[in-house]
Structure 1
Amino acid sequence: MARVVYLGGLGRSGTTLVERLLGELPSVCSLGEIVHLWQRDIRDNERCGCGARFATCTFWKRVGERAYGGWHNVDVGRVHALRDTVERTRFIPRLAAAHLPAAQLADVREYASFYARVYAAAAEVSGAEVVVDSSKHSALAHVLRWADGMDLRVVHVVRDARGVAYSWTKTVSRPETDGSDEMTRYSPGRSALLWNAHNAAFGLLARRGVPVRRIRYEQFLADPRTALRELAAYAGVPVTDADLAFLGDGYADLRVGHSAAGNPMRFTVGRLPLRRDDAWVRALPGNQRRLVGAVCAPMLRAYGYPLNPQAPQEA
């Protein structure tokens, strides 16, 4: 049984970078955001992180064969129906309960089984001991908690809410659609509410007995070598200095990956600069900084972030 490392948190918090660096470690296979695999890849045939269309990517073709005898055998309509029934943020309180009614438990486990089959097949095809799913969704993490026989370990990635809010205001093209589509944008007020809700949901997951390790994105960037050693130990993967040779002073050298969906960074191959992005301190208007800071103040303080937005946080 493969171990599953689930990267969770609100989007624009740095999960794609964490996923890419984890994927460079031996015995680790990064899969991207599997929550989007059913629509964007199986149905829409968007591009894999390797650049090939999903249907022609050798890696994903082999995964599909092992998991389902071919992706054409997946009932995507059923996956979507189950998602709408069980995987919504508003359902987290009931998913976090100690027990579920039999009918609901059956739906939750059926939905989780679609993911479990992908994880197991990807581990077998890649030969990895650990697979990484960077789906981020807090509700999906709560669903996976109920999966039969899954060794689930969650990494909760947190970034300063004001930096997240600024990132959500930026226009970002989706390369997998050849630039014809853009990633979702949120207002600072909306992203602040989502930041609170999703991060709180991962705290609740930890209180239900699921292993959850929280990392601050800013701290991860300040010392990625140490952070990766700690995450590898958490995932149960031993690493040596040689395994971390892809990390340099302020950069990482990345190989081709097979992320199914996610941030455009998943297409990056070669040298990737590792630098903190504190542009929000200067670029996010003062009234918006104050709004986000006020809405998120209790959790910002709990996570160790300064409430003064004029001073970038020190890791």
Structure 2
Amino acid sequence: MSWRTAEQSEQSENRVKVVFIGGLGRSGTTLLERLLGQLPGVVPLGEITHLWERDLVGNEMCACGATFSHCEFWQRIGERAFGSWDNVDVERLNALKATVDRTRHIPALAARKLAPAQHELVTEYVEYFENIYLAAAKDTRAQVVVDSSKHASLAYCLRWSPRIDLRVMHVVRDSRGVAYSWTKQVRRPESPTGDQMTRYSPAKAAMLWNAQNAAFSLLARRGVPVRRVRYERIIQRPRRVIASLARFCGLDLVESDLNYIGEGWADLGPSHSAAGNPMRFTVGRIPIFPDEAWTEDLPDGTRRMVSTLTRPLLGRYGYLAEDEAPLEEPAREEVSARD
């Protein structure tokens, strides 16, 4: 491609370790990325799936507070990855995305082998991500790059890359809490026009919850290392969960590396997350507590409807046992289970 540089050609023989945080939005994925991003050797990039339109085209705000075009970090990444961001053909990338990176394409992407034409398209599409990951790892000397794009279809595309050592953290949250969260109005502070985050009806949120979580379960059966972790467990024992997930990432930590997490709080430093939940802008000490407003505010009829639509996976993840509250599930099943 026209943007390939001599340095990029040399890097093409290397592999980069990518931790992909997946799951349906409003499940705690941004919190997990922020906690992981404080570990030594880790660089969190935010939701790279949205970088092209929101940042490269829309020039929205990086988590550091600068607009994308004025963020020194992202300008270095663009130079290292593509020679210049001007060399990225966003229209071509969007066309590729529509062709390969959609939930409806997951059955084909989950196959043991791709048809030659499809393999060529997936390879071209994934190359954009590969080069960002490699550039970020090189720039920061990180051992692990974190992409919190969430979408299962992108994870299925990335699995075909020989340059990516892919590991997936599949975040699940009680579907009723997720459905309630999707009904709330949340302003996107990075948007120059004051846009609101997308909202879904409880029924649509329930169906998306089913689709995304089922897809990540299948991904694990396709040879990709997948670690399932529940939002409720992250909230209850964040230090223990992050320590376990660091081992899953292949990081060799000492106890003091986790001192930024305490009982019910965490200290967060600045980052350069390109897109995601408004929490990515938060710096300093944050409280960590369960968001259980849905247990009081979600109407009974809506709760029953969401429960019915998502019942098989709710039961599989341990949310339906009448004699067991979600927060009491043994940590081993929560942190260590591999689907």
TM-score clears 0.5: yes
RMSD: 1.4
**Alignment of structure 1 residues 1-315 onto 2, 5 Å:** 1-178=15-192, 180-306=194-320, 313-315=327-329
* Structure 1 residues 281 and 275: alpha-carbon distance in aligned structure 2, compared to 1, 3 A threshold: same
Following TM superposition, by how much is the alpha carbon of 1:148 offset from its aligned partner in structure 2, in angstroms? 2.3
Contact 2:20 2:166 in 1 (8 A): yes
Contact 1:256 1:269 in 2 (8 A): yes
Question: C-alpha offsets along residues 133-157 of structure 1, whole Å, 9 cap, x if unaligned?
Answer: 0000000000001112210000000
Following TM superposition, by how much is the alpha carbon of 1:179 offset from its aligned partner in structure 2, in angstroms? 6.3
Following TM superposition, by how much is the alpha carbon of 1:43 offset from its aligned partner in structure 2, in angstroms? 0.6
Cα separation, 2, equivalents of 1:236 and 1:176: 33
* Structure 1 residues 106 and 233: alpha-carbon distance in aligned structure 2, compared to 1, 3 A threshold: same
Cα separation, 2, equivalents of 1:313 and 1:287: 24
**Matched residue type, 1:197:** A
* Structure 1 residues 178 and 44: alpha-carbon distance in aligned structure 2, compared to 1, 3 A threshold: closer
Following TM superposition, by how much is the alpha carbon of 1:211 offset from its aligned partner in structure 2, in angstroms? 0.6
Cα separation, 1, equivalents of 2:230 and 2:326: 14
TM-score calculated relative to the size of structure 2: 0.91
Cα separation, 2, equivalents of 1:183 and 1:307: 33
Cα separation, 2, equivalents of 1:247 and 1:235: 18
Size of the aligned set, in residue pairs, is: 315
* Structure 1 residues 153 and 193: alpha-carbon distance in aligned structure 2, compared to 1, 3 A threshold: same
Moved over 3 A (4+): 310-315
Contact 2:239 2:258 in 1 (8 A): yes
Describe the SS at the equivalent of 2:328.
coil
Contact 1:174 1:183 in 2 (8 A): yes
Aligned-residue identity in percent: 58
Contact 1:166 1:188 in 2 (8 A): yes
Contact 2:318 2:326 in 1 (8 A): no
Question: C-alpha offsets along residues 270-312 of structure 1, whole Å, 9 cap, x if unaligned?
Answer: 011100111100011000100000111110010111266x966
Following TM superposition, by how much is the alpha carbon of 1:177 offset from its aligned partner in structure 2, in angstroms? 1.0
Describe the SS at the equivalent of 2:229.
strand
Name structure 1 gaps, 5 residues minimum.
Answer: none
Contact 2:319 2:326 in 1 (8 A): no
Cα separation, 2, equivalents of 1:230 and 1:307: 25
Contact 2:60 2:192 in 1 (8 A): no
Contact 2:235 2:288 in 1 (8 A): yes
**Matched residue type, 1:68:** F
Cα separation, 2, equivalents of 1:290 and 1:312: 17
Following TM superposition, by how much is the alpha carbon of 1:207 offset from its aligned partner in structure 2, in angstroms? 0.7
Describe the SS at the equivalent of 1:131.
strand
Name structure 2 gaps, 5 residues minimum.
Answer: 1-14, 330-339
* Structure 1 residues 312 and 211: alpha-carbon distance in aligned structure 2, compared to 1, 3 A threshold: closer
Cα separation, 2, equivalents of 1:149 and 1:164: 34
Following TM superposition, by how much is the alpha carbon of 1:220 offset from its aligned partner in structure 2, in angstroms? 1.3
**Matched residue type, 1:44:** G
Cα separation, 2, equivalents of 1:164 and 1:245: 30
